[in-house]
Amino acid sequence: MGSNADSKEIINAEVEAGDFSSGGEISSKLKDLLRKLGTSSKLIRKIAIITYELEMNIIIHSEGGSLAAEVNPGRIDIIARDEGPGIEDVDKAFKPGYSTASESVREMGFGAGMGLCNIKNYADNLEVESELGVGTTIRASIDLK
Amino acid sequence: MTDLHSVLLDEDKCEGCTNCVKNCPTDAIRVHQGQAIIKDEKCIDCGECVRSCQHHAKQISTDGLDKIGDYKHPIVLVAPSFYGQFTTDIDPVKIVIAFKQLGFEEVWDVALGAEALTRKTAQYLKDNEGPIISSSCPTVVRLIKLLYPELLDYLAPFKSPVQLVAQRAKERAIKEKGFAEEEVGVFFITPCPAKMTTVNNPLGLEKSYVDGAIAVDKIYRKLLKKVKNMDVSMDYEEYETPYLGISWGKRGGEADLLSSENTISVTGIHNVTSILDELDRGDLPSIKYFELVSCEPGCVGGVLNVKNPFVAQFNIENLVEDHGKFIEQSLDDYDFELDKEFTPNTVAPLDDDFASAMAKLTELEEEIDELPGLDCAACGAPDCRTLAEDIINGLANRTDCIFILRQQLAELTDEMSSLAHSLPPIIQDEGD
Ligand code: SF4
């Protein structure tokens, strides 16, 4: 499910590790853009929550990265890329147990508060690719029903 | 001014500076040809523009005391924050008597409705998981309608203390005292434009129970004179001061009275916006009740008050100290239910058609790249992004930006001079 000719990036921004003061800026900006596109407020809320989780993940747990939003036919993708440390066991990170046990999730390089599991609750599709010591790419898709 | 809002502009006083433009939390103001213009559909009556205008060009339209003459039975509602306008050596009962001397037949404390609403909300909190946002500040409700429609369901589904008391007082005068509806005029002494606006444009109601609003600063002097000259021994039989309800006039009063855990009190419109941003992105799971008030620190900070907001807060704290009990009253005396749900009032998308909106969004990003990004507001819009949006919507020109204008002038000048130098020599000779 990569980018194609019909897909259009509406945001692509760097996220610095540890930059708490900018936390939430990207999700706010995306919210504003989606409103301009006439997206329903229910969907906007979902997307804002996902974006914020991903944004904070990068700020708190990674060595920096970027966040992008892509409009595709029928859906919107939020793509988070970071430059490490990577997740050791991706399946484990999805387990609901890790959703609140943020300490353990953190040890795996993830989890601003509710983490991956929370993102999964809001996204219609979620793909995670991660390599220890290299970085993680997460693509969360939300259907534009 | 329209029925929609109560903030208006005195065109003679407006110098066309952009202080208000930059301070408006909803980007509702533009300066065009030296005059500020408020966009009705975006204004939430917070009064920030009134606060930030050094030329006092922003005014608030309220009613005068003479309007009470239109009614056979005028009733006045006193806001909790009003008591903060007096030092604590002035017993609230004197204020009540002074209002009667000014011509009102009945004097009601909005604080009484605040106490009732506190009890009602406490019950509601027990049955609801939350989060719940107080719906008592009309500016906050309008802000949510405009910018956070996804949070509308969290608003407490009750009338505000002002409307609760207005309805109770009005219906009582009709039923128990036999007045006809049009003979009863309910007036609110308002600390802010937002509550003024709810007279004509109520929230969640078919019609307002308030007939007029008089600004605190319009009535204060008259009242103070009466209060100061009042015989201390005077007494007023039926009056009991709702001290706890009066604490609603300052930050925390509302939330503290709920005596529930997990409440938060946030005042000041820009603080409210940032807490709503956090709530919106799901970042505040542990907070159950949000007391949000547009003015800092609470209604005592309303722009129509006369006292320094923090001094007024101090006065209220002193006044309510040592009072720990609600006034005895039945909740059945009030009708808390709204007539209708709070509905969104969002600004239209760039285009109703998704594909065209996408195309316009691209255009918008390109326009933003053309602008210098200094956010100086000299163009009359609060920042470059907003100017770009206005340009896309056909409401402004790129040359409204003084930097672009200067650049284009420079280019034009170059062109003209090169044109001049390219004249045939024969003409140059003749010109000498
Ligand atoms: S009252 Fe508030 S929202 Fe309305 S124009 Fe003034 S600053 Fe903007």
Q: For chain A, how many residues are written? A: 145
Structure-block tokens of residue B330: 């039945």
* Of A28, A6, A3, A35, nearest in space to A141 by CA: A3
Question: Looking up tokens 């009990």, which residue turns up?
Answer: B325
Contact A103, A61 (CB under 8 A): no
* Of B111, B136, B132, nearest in space to B122 by CA: B132
Q: Which domains does chain A have, with CATH numbers?
A: 10-143 (3.30.565.10)
Helix (H) / strand (E) element for B161: namely: helix B161-175
Concatenating the DSSP letter of every residue in B78-89 gives E-GGGGGGS-TT
CA gap A136, B344 in Å, rounded: 38
A36–B281 C-beta distance less than 8 A = no
Query: Domain extents for chain B?
Result: 1-61, 65-333, 349-432
User: Nearest chain A Cα to B279, which residue?
Assistant: A49
Residue with CA closest to ligand 1 atom 5: B43
Q: Which of A27, A28, A33 lies at the smallest CB-CB distance from B361?
A: A33
B277–A37 C-beta distance less than 8 A = no
Per-residue pLDDT for A18 more than 90?
no
User: Nearest chain B Cα to A51, which residue?
Assistant: B281
A35–B357 C-beta distance less than 8 A = no
Which chain A positions have a beta carbon within 8 Å of B354's beta carbon? 37-38
ipTM (interface predicted TM): 0.80
In CATH, what number does B1-61 get? 3.30.70.20
Residue with CA closest to ligand 1 atom 3: B43
Q: Chain B contact for A38, CB < 8 A? A: yes
Q: What is the pLDDT of residue B72?
A: 96
Please tell me the distance between residue B44's alpha carbon and the centre of ligand 1 in angstroms. 6
A52–B283 C-beta distance less than 8 A = yes
- Name the A residues in 79-98 with CB < 8 Å from any B CB: none
User: What are the tens digits of pLDDT across the range B43-74?
Assistant: 999 999 999 998 888 888 888 999 999 999 99
User: Nearest chain A Cα to B365, which residue?
Assistant: A10
CA gap B266, B256 in Å, rounded: 12
pLDDT band at A2 (very low <50, low <70, confident <90, very high): very low
B277–A28 C-beta distance less than 8 A = yes
C-beta atoms surrounding B325 within 10 Å: 9
User: Nearest chain B Cα to A112, which residue?
Assistant: B283
3-state SS assignment for residue B290: strand
3-state SS assignment for residue A142: strand
Q: With the C-alpha atoms ordered B80, B86, B89, B94, is the resulting torsion angle positive or negative?
A: negative
Q: Chain B contact for A134, CB < 8 A? A: no
- In degrees and rounded to multiples of 5, residue B205 shows phi and psi of -125, 150
Taking an 8 Å Cβ-Cβ cutoff, which residues of chain B contact chain A?
A: 149-150, 277-278, 280-283, 285, 344, 346-347, 349-352, 354, 357-358, 360-362, 364
Best A37, A43, A44, A57 member to test B by mutation, with max B CBs in 10 Å, is A37
Please tell me the distance between residue B47's alpha carbon and the centre of ligand 1 in angstroms. 5
CA gap B267, B272 in Å, rounded: 6
A24–B149 C-beta distance less than 8 A = no
Question: Looking up tokens 């909190």, which residue turns up?
Answer: B125
Distances from the Cα of B338 to the Cαs of A29, B116, B120, B181, B372, in angstroms? Answer: 34, 15, 14, 21, 48
For chain B, residues with pLDDT lower than 50 are 1-2, 431-432
Please tell me the distance between residue B139's alpha carbon and the centre of ligand 1 in angstroms. 10
Which chain B positions have a beta carbon within 8 Å of A31's beta carbon? 280
B283–A36 C-beta distance less than 8 A = no
Q: What is the pLDDT of residue A21?
A: 85
CA gap A23, A65 in Å, rounded: 13
Mutating to test ligand 1, I would choose from B49, B53, B59, B304 the residue with most ligand atoms within 8 A of its C-beta, which is B49
Bond prior to B424 in cis (omega within 30° of 0)? no
Residue B20 CA: nearest ligand 1 atom is 7
B48 lines ligand 1 (CB under 6 A): yes
User: What are the tens digits of pLDDT across the range A89-99?
Assistant: 777 777 655 54
Mutating to test ligand 1, I would choose from B46, B51, B146 the residue with most ligand atoms within 8 A of its C-beta, which is B46
Best B42, B148, B150, B356 member to test A by mutation, with max A CBs in 10 Å, is B150
CA gap B84, B295 in Å, rounded: 14
Q: What is the pLDDT of residue B428?
A: 57
User: What are the tens digits of pLDDT across the range B242-283?
Assistant: 999 999 999 999 999 998 889 999 999 999 999 999 998 887
Please tell me the distance between residue A91's alpha carbon and the centre of ligand 1 in angstroms. 50
